[in-house]
Amino acid sequence: MKAINFVTEISKIKPNKLEIKKNTDFSDEFIDAYINDLQIVKKSTNVSISADNAIIDLIFNYDLTNLRILTVSFNKDTDTLEDDKYIYVGWAEAFPFAILKETGEIVELDWEDPTYIISYMAKDQSSFLDILIEIEKLNQKDVFGSITKKEKKENLKQISIIAGGDKYSWFLSNFDNEEI
């Protein structure tokens, strides 16, 4: 998935406040905060980035300050740092995630020792954006609708296939036993 497609998909799946209020008893504050977490704004300046670098394109051409999908958030362009092994592009809870330069994979790193890979998140930048969309869809089913544990587990298996297979399933397994 390219950055522009990701932005379009997020806007398509952003929940409707009136629908949520009609079907749940969540407070206005909760609903507004949830919807605000899916806010992406195009920046006024455009930086030309290769389509292969979907996450980099997203970070440099869109304001992602409010964007949060479960525990995942992206760095600002000014916070997107790079060393000989990684391009640091965001956070999964308290752990940084980065593009592993050698393979193009998205990896979650230990914040105390960024040379240690905690988990492999996706086979490439495009797949990572794909799984974020699917995780958000699943999260909305879990929060605003109804989904069984069996359906949730099956959805997570499908998402791990999108991510690249079993190598990338550990990161997704974090969402199996908790509210997603």
Tens digit of each residue's pLDDT (9 = 90 or more) over 30-75: 999 999 999 999 999 888 988 789 999 999 999 999 999 988 999 9
Query: Quick one: DSSP state of residue 106?
Result: E
Q: What percentage of the chain exceeds 90 in pLDDT?
A: 62
- Positive or negative: CA dihedral 139, 5, 56, 172: positive
Pull the structure tokens for residue 6: 């990701």
Reported as a pLDDT band with limits 50, 70 and 90, residue 169 is confident
Provide the whole-model pTM.
0.91
Of 146, 17, 117, nearest to 108 by C-alpha is 117
